[in-house]
Structure 1
Amino acid sequence: MDNNNINGGMQDRTSMHNGAPIQNGAPMPNGTFMINGVQMHNGMPTQNVSPVQIPGGPYNKNNGGMLKGILMGFIAAFLVFGVALGIKAISDVKGNKTVGDGSSTYQSMDEVYDKANRIKKLIDEYYYYDEDLNDIADGIYQGLIDSLGDKYADYYDAEELQSVIESNQGTYYGIGVVVQTDTETGEILVVNPYDFAPGYKAGIRAGDKIIAVDEINVVGMDLNEAVKYIHGDEGTDVTLTVRRDGKEMEFVVTRAKIDNQTITVKVLDNNIGYMRISSFDGVTLDQYKAGLEELISQDIEGIIFDVRSNGGGFYYTVVEMLDKILPEGKIVYTEDKNGNQEIEYSDANCIDLPMCVLVDGYTASASEIFAGAIQDYELGAIIGQKTYGKGIVQNTYDLGDGTAIKFTIAGYFTPNGRNIHGDGITPDIEVELPENLGENMDAYDKETGILKLEYDTQLQRAISYMNEQLGIE
């Protein structure tokens, strides 16, 4: 699911190196400290595992990834899936070898610089239109990152980076939807509509493909540009035309202030606790701790964790959260290209309650770390549908001039050594939601937009599983 995930609001969150941290307000994980205002962990900049890239889609502002299009209607990208133009350009260069013999090889970067200078001189001398050096420079940097062939890699210019930072503050204005570009169709794919946010309340659902914004066709449009059309002032309306199950539908959404509430909790019948985790952001850890305390104070007998449509987030956020519920041992570990491993451990202090985890095809990245660890420790059943399968970690580095780059630095592995990249996590209990659910608006609560229990077959199965564990018939 990680592709062009710009935070218009899913989830790749960005931590910084040699610059201001993007993760704000979260307690420092064990072994984490600050250097010049930069969050560091064991001497390295913090990592994010978020954007997922959904097939045809979640994260990378360039490759059609998941614009963390939390659509604040906004851009802010990063840990759920480059620019379409950049990709096409690369494809054309690789596929059209009519100049020379097409076998150019470079022995040193000096040769690359020399050729770039020759190209620039030709542009200066013969190019018909005015040129903008800033645009040329950003294009070169973006091209360098695109050449890696890493769909989660990205270059953020000053405007984009500022949007990323703002979107990680926990509050912004928009419709509360995380989007990415579907790389196969060019449509804007909704990865995660935030609970209680305007988009979800209006009827926008994960898997919807936005094809027009206020009657402006956005298919094939650069994700950044598309998100700008969705973004707007608080209280104004935006009309989204979406394709769902082959049918076109229109939704009028009123933009609002979005407080990024990533954790919601409630107590179900028979004292079963329920916790919905919509993403693993900078604000999530504190909300998670408060949510656990609230549930435990109500004497719950067990807990259901719901990470459906959660495209990921900060690596160390999910590590800290798992430390509260896992027994002593490995939580997760990463391994870089040289075989160097960094292992995260939990202590012996943990809650001792029956539990289970709800997942679906949009559960990705940090969410899969969460579900995978609980599955490996056999603490409870994983219920729902097979997860997305993003088993790699990205880091974001501040370049010191208001811009930044992000690329993949390692793979991650569950406590038992599983790397689920490309495979996902298979549920212990597989349950599908009813067909054509997205067309039945009566299935959703009119105030919150949340799927009603009578239609949520996955949550129903989770409740029955918990009752079985508690010996309740």
Structure 2
Amino acid sequence: MAESPRHIARRKKQASVTSRERMRGKRAARALCVFIAVVVAFAAGFLVRSQTEFVASLGFPLSAGEDAAGAGGATKKTTYDSAAMRVSEVEDLLNTSSLDAYDVSTAANGMLSALMKATNDPYATYFDPDRYAKYIKETADRSYAGIGVLFSDYNGRAYVVDVFEGSEAEAKGVVQGDFVEAIDGDSSHEWTMTEVVNALARDEGESVTITWMHPVSLDAETGSEFTTTLTCRRFEEANLLTSVVGDVGYVRLRQFTQNSSDLVKSAVSSLTSQGATSFVLDLRDNPGGYLTQAVDVASLFVQSGVLVQIETVEGTTTKTASGVTVTQAPLVVLVNGYTSAAAEVLAAALQDNQRATVVGETTLGKGSVQVVRELSFGGAVRYTAAYYRTPLGHDIDGIGVVPSTVVGPSSDPDSDTQRLVAIDVASSAADAQDALVPLT
């Protein structure tokens, strides 16, 4: 029986639809296969690229970030973790592609200065050859020649610790805490203590112009500025002062020089012979100095035990008492906010060993050690190489030594309240010790 024209048309239409669906299925299958192939290729490529030795054996170049494995499995620095390699990459581009030249010294000075600042070490400094030559300047005469000011470093900047009484600097308004901003108009860099002292070691009668910055506090980076022209002359200020107040021997040490322990030892012996039964060691405004001398002074009062811990990249070491003391009498250490570095080490050593009562204000908190290293191409860098910690392991840097008896400075310039309180504490300690002596 023949199909009607309507049935034939319907059958052809259904065949056409089936054919189109079959074609769409084939195209979808091909697309899926391509997708899977891409994924597999990507995964395989990632796997192969992660095997740097295998990739290198195939002759493919490795990028700086991929060439991380060295001989023996040691990790090499890459442009991702090495400033030197980043600079080297740019330098290579300039050398091969740029039509302009650059001055190596100028470029290096700028980059090295920026590198030291990026360490966040406030004392880190790059000295170019000219500046370094001034930094290491030595004078044959070791007596103080200058303007009548004692300087120290705070965060790498020179500031005034003490102004000598009767000096021209005192008369012209220089006060404790002032920072040096410029000397003879040179404000090209921040002045360190060593640079200031060297710049002021001049011939008798020579003048110097200094710009000072008077901040609200030592941590302030700005403040009012003023300029003075001062005449340099020699100052023979005694590093150690002594007196007897009642039965208390008073010893003031300005800074730790090469013979400080001998001076303190002689002073204590002399004061004892004058009837002193207790002592006050005044370290106010002492900027520190030789650590070995601070340890030796501590040994005069502490018979045994740790006096300071020193942390470096190689680990922690200690300095201990020598075992030879000069007295066992009660001792008070007087400090203030300008007591710094080695002076803080001494105060902490006596406090932690329960050998002395610390009176006054919290110290500056400069418990770090800086070193200067010469560079093969000229100049030098200065950086922090060690930190001081107290005998019990407490931080000094940024914290300071906290007195057990807190006494602020007197508002009356004719009355030294801190000194009076320290003497009173020492005298009371001597009376208490006498009360414990058994009667015979």
TM-score, length of structure 1 as denominator length: 0.59
Q: Is the aligned partner of 1:270 residue 2:241?
A: no
Q: CA 1:137–1:233 in structure 2 vs 1: closer, same or farther (change >3 Å)?
A: farther
After the TM superposition, which residues 239-250 of structure 1 pair with which residues of structure 2 at under 5 Å, given as runs?
243=214
Q: Is the aligned partner of 1:255 residue 2:207?
A: no
Q: Is the 8 A contact 2:278 2:427 kept in 1?
A: no
Q: Is the aligned partner of 1:105 residue 2:65?
A: no
Q: Is the 8 A contact 1:161 1:402 kept in 2?
A: no
Q: Is the 8 A contact 2:153 2:192 kept in 1?
A: no
Matched residue type, 1:192: V
- C-alpha separation in 2, matches of 1:233 and 1:353: 46
Q: Residue 359 of structure 1 corresponds to which residue in structure 2?
A: 335
Cα distance per residue 1:152-205 (max 9 Å; x no partner): 22334455355445279733532233155789xxxx763412656836654633
Give the unaligned 5+ runs of structure 2. 1-78, 217-222, 433-440
Matched residue type, 2:431: G
Cα distance per residue 1:230-282 (max 9 Å; x no partner): 67542245576664768888876432124575x31211322422222222244
Q: Is the aligned partner of 1:347 residue 2:322?
A: yes
Residue 178 of structure 1 is aligned with which of 151, 170, 186? 151
In terms of mean alpha carbon deviation, does 310-319 or 394-403 score higher? 394-403
- C-alpha separation in 2, matches of 1:383 and 1:300: 19
Give the unaligned 5+ runs of structure 1. 1-103, 438-442, 444-453
Matched residue type, 1:113: S
In terms of mean alpha carbon deviation, does 265-274 or 393-402 score higher? 393-402
Q: Is the 8 A contact 2:244 2:271 kept in 1?
A: no
Shift of 1:418: 1.4
Q: Is the 8 A contact 1:181 1:223 kept in 2?
A: no
Q: Residue 307 of structure 1 corresponds to which residue in structure 2?
A: 283
Cα distance per residue 1:110-165 (max 9 Å; x no partner): 454343455688999356xxx5x555544444444333221122334455355445
After the TM superposition, which residues 172-211 of structure 1 pair with which residues of structure 2 at under 5 Å, given as runs?
172-175=144-147, 176-178=149-151, 190-193=159-162, 195=164, 198=167, 201-202=170-171, 204-209=174-179
Matched residue type, 1:190: Y
Shift of 1:344: 1.0
Q: CA 1:124–1:139 in structure 2 vs 1: closer, same or farther (change >3 Å)?
A: farther
Residue 223 of structure 1 is aligned with which of 164, 186, 191? 191
Q: Is the aligned partner of 1:458 residue 2:434?
A: no
In terms of mean alpha carbon deviation, does 463-472 or 197-206 score higher? 197-206
Matched residue type, 1:178: F
Q: CA 1:124–1:413 in structure 2 vs 1: closer, same or farther (change >3 Å)?
A: farther
- C-alpha separation in 2, matches of 1:213 and 1:161: 16
- C-alpha separation in 2, matches of 1:135 and 1:291: 54
Q: Residue 160 of structure 1 corresponds to which residue in structure 2?
A: 132
Cα distance per residue 1:377-433 (max 9 Å; x no partner): 222211111112233333333447874433222332211221233222211111111
Residue 415 of structure 1 is aligned with which of 391, 412, 422? 391
Shift of 1:284: 3.6
Matched residue type, 1:257: R
Matched residue type, 1:269: V
Shift of 1:368: 1.3
- C-alpha separation in 2, matches of 1:199 and 1:160: 30
Shift of 1:461: 0.8
Q: How many residues align?
A: 342
Please give the secondary structure, in 1, of the residue aligned with 2:344.
Answer: helix
- C-alpha separation in 1, matches of 2:87 and 2:208: 46
After the TM superposition, which residues 226-237 of structure 1 pair with which residues of structure 2 at under 5 Å, given as runs?
227=196, 233-237=203-207
Please give the secondary structure, in 2, of the residue aligned with 1:468.
Answer: helix
Please tell me whether Structure 1 or Structure 2 has the larger radius of gyration of its CA atoms: 2
In terms of mean alpha carbon deviation, does 360-369 or 264-273 score higher? 264-273
TM-score, length of structure 2 as denominator length: 0.63
Question: Quick one: higher RCO (CA 8 Å, sep 6+), 1 or 2?
Answer: 1
Cα distance per residue 1:304-346 (max 9 Å; x no partner): 11111223223223222212221211111123346x2211111
- C-alpha separation in 1, matches of 2:143 and 2:248: 31
Q: Is the 8 A contact 1:168 1:282 kept in 2?
A: no
In terms of mean alpha carbon deviation, does 263-272 or 379-388 score higher? 263-272
RMSD over aligned CA atoms reads 4.1
Cα distance per residue 1:1-44 (max 9 Å; x no partner): xxxxxxxxxxxxxxxxxxxxxxxxxxxxxxxxxxxxxxxxxxxx
Please give the secondary structure, in 1, of the residue aligned with 2:100.
Answer: helix
- C-alpha separation in 2, matches of 1:401 and 1:277: 41
In terms of mean alpha carbon deviation, does 198-207 or 243-252 score higher? 243-252
- C-alpha separation in 1, matches of 2:334 and 2:124: 29
Q: CA 1:341–1:269 in structure 2 vs 1: closer, same or farther (change >3 Å)?
A: same
- C-alpha separation in 2, matches of 1:470 and 1:320: 24
Residue 316 of structure 1 is aligned with which of 289, 292, 310? 292
Matched residue type, 2:415: Y
Please give the secondary structure, in 2, of the residue aligned with 1:411.
Answer: strand
Q: Residue 59 of structure 2 corresponds to which residue in structure 1?
A: none
After the TM superposition, which residues 440-455 of structure 1 pair with which residues of structure 2 at under 5 Å, given as runs?
443=413, 454-455=414-415
Higher helix share: 2
